[in-house]
Chain A
Amino acid sequence: MRRALRLYKVFVSQSLKSLVEYKVDFLTGAISFLINQTLNIAFLYIIFSQIPNLIGWEFEQIVFIYGFSLIPKGLDHLLANNLWKVGYYIVDSGDFDKYLTRPVNTLFHVMFESFEVDALGELIVGIALLVSTVGSLGVKFTVLDLILFIVIIPFAASIYTSIKIIFASVAFKTKRSGHIIHVFYMVNDFAKYPTTIYNNLIRTIITYVIPFAFTGFYPASYFLTGENPLFNLGGTILIASVLMTLAIFIWHKMLRTYESAGS
């Protein structure tokens, strides 16, 4: 554990160095996330200027859910972005060999090798949306809630990471799986809205199959309404743990089929 932390510190400092080299790239990346989210909020704002509520949900509540969903997403983006590269080109180019020759767990190494500061765009917008809506919602936010919030976020983020791990490891067989990760990752957009707006099929999928609803709407709705902590929070923890275990298992199983593509 100590060794892992020390290694992680080295990885981060290496990433930060390359960041300094590509300052403008970093700025455009972070700004683009910021603008993207602002435009989505503008969309909600224009809709809500015409209707009193969205099937029972107020504007501030929808914004709260939206902001909440950005935080696990941003956290995963910050820490485990390298998995995308596994799917897009690390395996395909033969560069994955590097990770196999090092005395570190492959998943740990490849996942934490890069530290994606672009994600600050999502994290900052997410936190800003929560802070700005929580006052006008009239919800009492106690110390216990804050603790629960801090506990639940890493679990929610790990749902993202697990799904990326599972589909990145497909690349060990097919050489490239970036586009598969992309399709499944895109499902997370469903988590930004109350699941009640979808039909049964989609609701079942985002709850039990690709459980992104647990990264946004379910935990957020607990903090809004205080209802169903067992399902909304307990479910998040349970699903996240199961999914992560499964992901680690699949990664190592698929890794055994890996053949280098290098020449």
Chain B
Amino acid sequence: MRNSLKIYKPFTLTGIQEFMIYKANFLFFIGGEILFCFITFFVWKAVFNSSSSDSFMGFTMTNMVVYLFMTYLSSILTSSDAAYAIGEEIVSGSIAMRLIKPVNYDVSFLFQEIGNKIIITSIMLIPVIFGIEVYKFIVSGEIQFQWIHFLTYFLSIMLGYIISFYFNICFGFLAFYLKNLWGANMLKESIIRFLSGAIIPIAFLPQTMGNILNLMPFASLTYTPVMIYMGTYNISETIFFLGLQVFWIIVFFGLSKLIWSAAIKKLCVQGG
């Protein structure tokens, strides 16, 4: 275990360095995302103004604001570029370089991206949570922050990230069939955005549809952690949804191994 950590440490350091070089890109990326957040905020504000009661399907405006910004934070923390990275390496053939090294191809991708995530988490997590708690304090007049929710949220967000990573690895294998993953990637993003409750909370959907979505892997990415943070789940529900996250990790991990072992026989790198 110690030994394997040593092998993968350089990948994490590369990930950190990569982030440092492209930090401007990241800043513009979160800038663009936060615009989306504000548009949704104003739409909801108008909805609450037009609604006859203070709460909309069980959410108050305060809940909604917390939900929006927590979802924003969580989707950045759990997002994974693995599909893009692996797709590019397959198309360009540079995956050959990874294959000749005595490392697991997926674990090396994972550790590289974790380097990235360490920086993003340390930059964003505390400020966003702090901002949300200050907002809640101003609205309600009391400090509502609870360590247990925060820590469970953190655990859940890490599980969510690993699901996202292995899901994206599976998705990246599409590059064997498509020359350019751009369109497929966009399709994936918009579907995930909807199914994970980023556009509209799953609780607002018709009951049976909501129940199904809750069990699907996409809800495990951001919706489960956010609900845990907001304290919507009781203890047994929390344990159930964390278990579900672990279940989806196992499924996508297994699936990625399965596709890989089939695909590796097909892989044909041109040139060199």
Contact = CB atoms under 8 A, between A and B. Distances in A.
B42 A28 contact: no
A249 interface: no
Interface in B168-200: 177-180, 182-184, 186-187, 190-191, 193-194, 199-200
Interface string A173-198: 00000011011001101100100011
Given A35-B191, A55-B50, A180-B28, A190 B39 contact: yes
B118 to A, nearest CB: 22
A43 B28 CA distance: 26
A46 B204 contact: yes
Nearest to B174: A28
Counting chain A residues whose Cβ lies within 8 A of the other chain, the interface size class is 35 or more
A24 B28 contact: no
A47 interface: yes
Q: For this complex, into which size category does the number of interface residues on chain B fall?
A: 35 or more
A76 interface: no
B60 to A, nearest CB: 14
Main secondary structure of the interface of A (DSSP, over half): helix
Contacts of A55: 46, 49-50
Given A29-B182, A36-B186, A179-B25, A50 B57 contact: yes
A32 interface: yes
Nearest to B56: A50
B178 A28 contact: yes
Contacts of B199: 39-40, 43
B155 interface: no
B200 A54 contact: no
Interface of B: 24-25, 28-29, 31-32, 35-36, 38-39, 42-43, 45-47, 49-51, 56-57, 177-180, 182-184, 186-187, 190-191, 193-194, 199-200, 204-205
